[in-house]
Amino acid sequence: MLEKINGVKYWALIGSALLLSACANTDGEVLDATPVEPAVETQEPVVAEPTEDVTSETLMEDMDTQESLDAASEASLIYFGYDRYDLSSDARTGLQAQASWLQAHSSVKVTVEGHCDERGTREYNLALGDRRANSVKNYLVALGIDPSRIHTVSYGKERPAVTGTGATSWSMNRRGYTRVN
Amino acid sequence: MRFFKLLMLAVTGLVVTLGAAQARIVVDVNRGHADPLPIAIANLLGNENDIISGGSVKSYGERIALVVKADLTRSGLFRVVDNSAFIKSGNPLTNLRNPKFNNWKAIGAQALMNGSIALQEDGRLKVEFRLWDVLGSNQMTGLRYFTSPKNWRRIAHLMSDAIYKRLTGESGYFDTRVVYISESGPATARIKRLAIMDQDGHNHVFLTNGKNLVLTPRFSPTAQEITYLSYHDDNPRVYLYNIDSGKQEILGDFPGMTFAPRFSPDGNKVIMSQAYKGNSDIYVMELSTRKIQRLTKHTAIDTSPSYSPDSRYVTFNSDRGGSQQIYVMDATGKNIKRISFGKGRYSTPVWSPRGDLIAFTRQYGGKFYIGVMRPDGSGERLLSESYLDEGPTWAPNGRVIMFFRQQPYDKQGRGGDVQLWTVDLTGYNERQMITPLDGSDPAWSPLIR
């Protein structure tokens, strides 16, 4: 994942002028989805253009975004079982991607939100959401991320991702979400 | 907010004990719903030509009678006899002290309330009423109040309380208020505001503007302060809200989230949970010194603490046994005992103001229930059942429980409404409270003094 991101950065640098003018508002998507193809197509005219007026800083700043983390890590989301706060293997894979991204974006601080479904009482769910947020944080820290970069907050059952009654809706609401500050 | 202070001050009552005799009629609060007592509530006699802000004195007399009727009807223990059945004969003023009992008997009323209202020179209202035992031809009680006209609803509730008390032997709960969370907007971006109202839904006031997410308000024993949870920049903490001043302040300087606050019975402490690094335990803060004592120390979730009315014990919710159950411990944190043993999960224990019962939320078989059990865990009874019932709070007389109920969503995504409901300790008389928007997390005030 790290290599991929660096590759992207490289192409982004040399292709910056055109990308910025053509896709200024969709940098993140273009870079992530198919980083090579468009860059190859535009390589020639870009090389011919002067690039001094575009700084790499601008691009780095762009990369420190929620969109970039979302693209790198399954929408910055991981899911939990009913009344559980342990991490499934899918959740671990997602968090490993988050950790790689965080290592590549070392100035970024994040807030990890712990969320629950509505099938629990409010106060218990606040405590459970706190457990979930800390499960995420602890794993990211174990993967080498500085704990001071990660704030945790529980939203209990107060901010469901989806409305609806039934197992599917509930499972989508039992989540940890990593938000770029 | 000075409004509330005025409400507190301006009501004075005076017992009129003219010929009060042994009552023959008694309403049994445990069986009354099956056979509600027929009671006639006459409009208070008042002068049509005395005009005050909002109408004539006579119209105030009629409005007070309407509020009394609504209170008694909502209790489920009384059937209010329709005014159109009243037999009019004789001098209304004479009838105030000498009701024609045969006329009331004839329309099936077993009890009668009558009275009068007058505007005094100082601008205050003088309101008096008498409660009569129709079959026994006796006065059961009589009270006189003096108040500023804008407190007229309180007078009505105080009268309802007096009637309820005289007829049931239990203290009333009508002169009380409810603080709760008013909800609006889609569930994924719900706007929640602290709101307060009389127990009948009137005099509704929003206390916060909805900018910050607020949850779980609870009254102090004086009903002048509220403790609740508020989010500020991803930092959920317990706050205090002063109803008189509107002032809000954070309670303590905890590194982690504080939540599930509740006052001690004397109002000097707030007991709550702190979640720190993924573990929730119970703490208590002395309000005058801000000194904090930790009561539980366990890797489990410990939350929703509630004091017994004598302050000796605390009941709380913990999953230390593997699933959510209810526990009782000494107020020092010692002698922790599990008291719930039924199937499913138990949570949100709240000690009755009478001390004899603990109300709770139970989840079992895909449903949520509100129930009660004795503090030793015996005598469990379920009072309500739905897709999601949660968060019981007691009327100060320990006879009625308010909670909130959320509807499920249908396939078209409609539903999810959240409303306040009341149910009697008997499990009868379930009623929805009317609120301007959706409502949750109700907390019933003590009797207002």
Which residue in B has a C-alpha nearest to residue A137's C-alpha? B277
**Beta-carbon count within 10 A of B432 CB:** 11
* pLDDT surpassing 90 at residue B22: no
Mutation for testing the B interface, residue in A130, A140, A175 having most B CBs under 10 Å: A130
pLDDT score, position B31: 76
- Domains present along chain A, CATH in parentheses: 2-62 (no CATH), 71-180 (3.30.1330.60)
* pLDDT surpassing 70 at residue A8: no
Residues 21-60 of A with CB under 8 A from B: none
A128 Cβ under 8 Å from any chain B Cβ: yes
Q: Which fold has domain B177-444?
A: Neuraminidase (2.120.10)
| Record: contact A161-B188, CB cut-off 8 A | yes
For B196-223, what is each residue's pLDDT tens digit?
999 999 999 999 999 999 999 999 998 7
- d(CA B101, CA B99) in angstroms, rounded, equals 6
Taking CB atoms and an 8 Å cut-off, how many pairs form between chains A and B?
A: 102
* pLDDT surpassing 80 at residue A19: no
Region of A76 please: left (phi>0), alpha (psi -120 to 50) or beta: left
- Within 8 A by CB and 6+ apart from A144, the residues are A99, A103
Residues from chain A contacting residue B361 (CB–CB below 8 Å) = 121
CB A160 within 8 A of CB B188: yes
| Record: contact A121-B415, CB cut-off 8 A | no
Mutation for testing the B interface, residue in A84, A110, A123 having most B CBs under 10 Å: A123
Closest residue by Cα to residue A20 from A48, A56, A70, A44: A56
CA atoms lying within 13 Å on the CB side of residue A23:
16
What percent of chain B is modeled with pLDDT above 90? Answer: 86
B361: β partners: B347, B370
Closest residue by Cα to residue B154 from B139, B138, B174, B136: B174
Residues from chain A contacting residue B229 (CB–CB below 8 Å) = 126
Nearest by CB: A123 against B256, B304, B388: B304
What percent of chain A is modeled with pLDDT above 90? Answer: 64
* pLDDT surpassing 90 at residue B341: yes
Amino acid at B21: A
Q: How far does the CA of residue A31 sit from the closest CA of chain B (Å)?
A: 30
- Within 8 A by CB and 6+ apart from B216, the residues are A122, A123, B181, B228, B229, B259, B260, B261, B391, B441
Q: Taking residues B252-279, what's their average pLDDT?
A: 96
Rg, chain B, Cα only = 24
Return the minimum-mean-pLDDT range out of A54-63, A139-148, B258-267: A54-63
Residue B336 tokens, joined: 């922790």
- d(CA B364, CA B285) in angstroms, rounded, equals 34
Region of B244 please: left (phi>0), alpha (psi -120 to 50) or beta: alpha
* pLDDT surpassing 50 at residue B81: yes
* pLDDT surpassing 90 at residue A13: no
Closest residue by Cα to residue B302 from B275, B342, B337: B275
A141 Cβ under 8 Å from any chain B Cβ: no
Residues from chain A contacting residue B259 (CB–CB below 8 Å) = 123, 126-127
Q: Give the dihedral sign, CA A39/A40/A44/A45.
A: negative
Nearest by CB: B257 against A122, A130, A138: A130
Sheet holding B205-206, edge to edge: B205-206, B191-198, B177-184, B438-444
Residue A178 tokens, joined: 């990593």
Cα A160 → chain centroid = 19
Residue range(s) of every CATH 3.40.50.10070 domain in chain B: 10-168
Which residue in B has a C-alpha nearest to residue A169's C-alpha? B409
| Record: contact B234-A154, CB cut-off 8 A | no
Q: How far does the CA of residue A127 sit from the closest CA of chain B (Å)?
A: 6
Region of B111 please: left (phi>0), alpha (psi -120 to 50) or beta: beta
pLDDT score, position B266: 95
DSSP B20: B
| Record: contact B406-A126, CB cut-off 8 A | no
pLDDT score, position B344: 96
DSSP B221: T
Q: Which pLDDT band holds residue B116 (cuts at 50, 70, 90)? A: very high
A119 Cβ under 8 Å from any chain B Cβ: yes
- d(CA B48, CA B30) in angstroms, rounded, equals 42
A161 Cβ under 8 Å from any chain B Cβ: yes
| Record: contact B363-A120, CB cut-off 8 A | yes
Q: For residue B338, count CB atoms less than 10 angstroms from its CB and return exposed for 0-12, middle for 13-18, buried for 19 or more.
A: middle
CB B338 within 8 A of CB B326: yes
Q: Taking residues B263-269, what's their average pLDDT?
A: 97
Q: How far does the CA of residue B101 sit from the closest CA of chain A (Å)?
A: 53
Residue range(s) of every CATH 2.120.10.30 domain in chain B: 177-444
pLDDT score, position A29: 40
Q: H-type helices in A37-163, by residue range?
A: 37-41, 43-48, 56-63, 66-72, 89-104, 122-142
Residues from chain A contacting residue B319 (CB–CB below 8 Å) = 124
CB B126 within 8 A of CB B95: no
A120 Cβ under 8 Å from any chain B Cβ: yes
Residue B428 tokens, joined: 């009868």
Q: Which architecture does CATH list for B10-168?
A: 3-Layer(aba) Sandwich (3.40)
